[in-house]
Amino acid sequence: MRTILILAGLSLWAIAATVGAQQAPQLREDNIAEVVKAMTLEEKARLLVGGGYDGLVTSGAVMGRQTKFVPGAAGSTVGFPRLGIPHTLMADGPAGLHIDAHRKGETRTYHATGFPVGTCLACTWNTRLVEEVGKAMGNETKEYGCDVILGPGMNIHRNPLCGRNFEYYSEDPLVTGEMGTALVNGIQSQGIGVSAKHFAVNSQEGDRERVDEQVSERALREIYLRGFERMVKKSNPWTVMASYNRINGIYAQCDRRLLTDILRNEWGFNGIVITDWIGVRQDLPIEDAVHSGDDLMMPGVPAQVTNIVQAVNDGRLDIEDINLNVTRILEYIVKTQNFKGYQPSNNPDLQAHAAITRQSATEGMVLLKNNGLLPLQINEQLDTVALFGVCSYDFLSGGVGSGCVEVPYVVDMLHGLKNAGIATTPQLTEIYTRYVEYAKVKLQADKNPWMWYLDQGQPKLDEIEISDRCIAHEVSSADMAIFTIGRQAGEAMDRTIANDFNLSSLEQDLLFRVSDAFHAAGKPVIVIINSGSVIETASWRDRVDAILVAWQPGEEGGNSVADVLLGKANPSGKLTMTWPISAYDHWSTQNFPMEIDMYSYKSMERRNRAIKNVNYSKHEEGIYVGYRYFDTFHKQTAYPFGYGLSYTEFTYGKPSVKFKDDVVEVTLTIQNTGKMAGKEVVQVYVNAPEGGMDKPAKELRAFAKTEILQPGEKTTVRMTIPREDLASWDEAQNKWVVADGTYTFYTAASIEDIRGQATLTLK
């Protein structure tokens, strides 16, 4: 009897278990609809809200990073073991994987490779190379157990003062779209997702969570969305990150026209939209965000789950909106490594990736000036350098904020030169080295808790005075001077004109005294710009012999600079943004909010004074961003868009332009007519017929980078421009229009250096 009862009990349990299993399907690629059906409303709401992290929660805003799974990763999606749904992990950022290098209780480290920042990558104009960098980043992300890297950063450099320009590529949407595509394709080839950000019009950091970017439909389409559009169509990103700001009154994070009508319906995006990291927003009802097509609230706070459930129960939110977003998130999850059960090694090949970063950085560096001194011929007359500038000894490999990387090391200028066999003068080296040691200790002691964004990454140390006596001593013991000018920037703060865009008086005074003293002795002076974005050069460039923009080139920085200075790598980077004479020369500067920074969060009074909207049409700026403005209105630049010197020379052949199957093909020969092997970046600018619209004088419509050409070697460069890429956004018709008429195609070495032209009439 007892046995029978036990057997009956067992079979009842078996039946219950079977029913249970039937009621709880386990997630597979092909049963997503079934899983959605099996989820409770609470579970669905929890899936739409990120897993949060154990950081600080202040007045609805969330700060910190998650530590549960991979310490330092920026956030996670919630797992549901009942349904076989694993958590997934998202980590910053555009210059490499941002996770904590140190873990509690462990002696080993988890460093990631610091690759060149976005501006440096873009200035390579080499999409193949950027794709390789993406592969290495994707591989590290996978081997450290994360699923998505929060990048590429694809906002337009509307103004050089934006604090995050270093994470972005260019003032031009074609360059932005092509670089974004390359990086996405590289990362995603490793089975790792991306989050292209910050969608959209996140052109400044000041008051970024509230600012209303008022922008015309034409500027939106032609400038601010076009790069994203290109990348979405060419690379199928897994996720896109909706930015904090408002656009024409509506938060991007609840803008259905942006996130659904344009992104998905017009461009065919089929991934998920995630919010940029924010908590509950008092002035953004959660139902608006969910309904807009904003699938995942990151990093996620519990109140958002309650709010979603409440909104459904109150009838403010349709369950079908939720089901759609849940379905899309599950479609994302089944692609991830965490879902596939990949066991990360936690040992990516950091050495191999260091080699990639060293080479890609040299290709992105831009030689602004060279009076014939470079490449340096090291010999007995020229082998000792007086190395000035704090950043020579504390070189900035990347920016600060979420986009920083906890790198294993940074090769500074001192060691880069030393590795290349160049000595530095002992006295100056000692002064700076000691100061850097001291300043780092002091910095730790002076940490400002409100500056937590900037505490992520390598801060820039203050410059120091060097006396005339010391300079005189250096002149007598060195063959030349190298002066590194460093700049740091990052999240939540824009740059200032004084002491940042412009040199500080200390820097300028020191540079002038150094150049006067060295030149008086017939010894040259080289400036290295170690900054993620543009600085003023016009007031001091005549005082020096060579200027190399090294950007923030990643952990191998000093080695990469030495490779260029010595000609081991022939510079082939060109500017993807205009270098103006004065910061005020950009049209947008008239309407760029200054002095709104992280400090404004400290005092409500200052915060409330912060500018809440920025009108891009005021002063007629509109589409006239970057070179579109300087070129059309004949405004002089310090260095124009597309500019960069080489150690060799290239001769451009006459271009031929053909139109077939709705595609324009521009062909020309490029010959290396100089004495050193090198690569050239060829640009095609187009002047389009007006077709009843006001148009820029020229717009970049294609570019190519040659392979290395030996002296005398010639190659044929073929570039294609699909007809629709010639279109402008016609606000009257609310669509892209390719005007009838004659188009002029300029083949050029920069926007100001036109080498050939051909015309074509389109109907």
Q: Tell me which residues are annotated as active site.
A: 276
Contact 462, 409 (CB under 8 A): no
Contact 59, 118 (CB under 8 A): no
- d(Cα 739, Cα 485) in Å, to the nearest integer? 46
Running DSSP on this structure, what letter comes out for residue 558? Answer: H
Total residues binding ligand BGC (CB under 6 A): 9
Residues 30-59 that bind ligand BGC (CB under 6 A): none
Compute the least distance from the CB of residue 93 to ligand BGC, in Å: 6
Name which of 169 and 641 has its Cβ closer to ligand BGC.
169
Name which of 73 and 322 has its Cβ closer to ligand BGC.
73
Site string for ligand BGC, 233-252 (x = CB under 6 A): --------------------
Compute the least distance from the CB of residue 74 to ligand BGC, in Å: 4
Phi then psi dihedrals of residue 42, to 5 deg: -60, -45
Which residue is it, tokens 């980077």? 573
Compute the least distance from the CB of residue 203 to ligand BGC, in Å: 13
State both tokens at 85: 């749904």
- d(Cα 86, Cα 28) in Å, to the nearest integer? 11
Name which of 457 and 622 has its Cβ closer to ligand BGC.
457
Q: Could you check whether the bond before residue 299 is cis, i.e. omega within 30 degrees of 0?
A: yes
Q: Is 402 in the site for ligand BGC (CB under 6 A)?
A: yes
- d(Cα 573, Cα 173) in Å, to the nearest integer? 18
163 three-state secondary structure: coil
Phi then psi dihedrals of residue 14, to 5 deg: -65, -40
Compute the least distance from the CB of residue 252 to ligand BGC, in Å: 12
- d(Cα 761, Cα 664) in Å, to the nearest integer? 11
Compute the least distance from the CB of residue 679 to ligand BGC, in Å: 32
Contact 133, 115 (CB under 8 A): yes
CA neighbor of 515 nearest in space, from 427, 392, 388, 415: 388
The residue type at 703: F
Name which of 72 and 642 has its Cβ closer to ligand BGC.
72
- Which residues does residue 714 pair with via DSSP β-bridges, in sequence order? 671
Q: Is 92 in the site for ligand BGC (CB under 6 A)?
A: yes
Name which of 171 and 491 has its Cβ closer to ligand BGC.
491
CA dist 594 → 33, 531, 589, 597 (Å): 50, 20, 9, 8
- Pick one of 78, 150, 174, 575: the residue that binds ligand BGC (CB under 6 A): 150
- Pick one of 46, 87, 111, 197: the residue that binds ligand BGC (CB under 6 A): 197
Contact 504, 415 (CB under 8 A): no
198 three-state secondary structure: strand
Compute the least distance from the CB of residue 161 to ligand BGC, in Å: 17
Contact 501, 457 (CB under 8 A): no
Residues 274-333 that bind ligand BGC (CB under 6 A): 276-277
586 three-state secondary structure: coil
State both tokens at 106: 């462990």
Compute the least distance from the CB of residue 369 to ligand BGC, in Å: 34
Compute the least distance from the CB of residue 50 to ligand BGC, in Å: 10
Q: Is 597 in the site for ligand BGC (CB under 6 A)?
A: no
CA neighbor of 286 nearest in space, from 262, 314, 264: 314
Name which of 297 and 481 has its Cβ closer to ligand BGC.
297
Q: Please state whether 629 falls in left (phi above 0), alpha (psi between -120 and 50) or beta.
A: alpha
Name which of 275 and 292 has its Cβ closer to ligand BGC.
275
- Pick one of 213, 295, 463, 491: the residue that binds ligand BGC (CB under 6 A): 491
Name which of 99 and 367 has its Cβ closer to ligand BGC.
99
594 three-state secondary structure: coil
CA dist 613 → 204, 382, 599, 602 (Å): 11, 55, 19, 20
- Pick one of 35, 38, 74, 385: the residue that binds ligand BGC (CB under 6 A): 74
Query: H/E element holding 600?
Result: none
Compute the least distance from the CB of residue 491 to ligand BGC, in Å: 6
Name which of 239 and 392 has its Cβ closer to ligand BGC.
239
Which residue is it, tokens 């007086």? 386
Residues that bind ligand BGC (CB under 6 A): 74, 92-93, 150, 197, 276-277, 402, 491
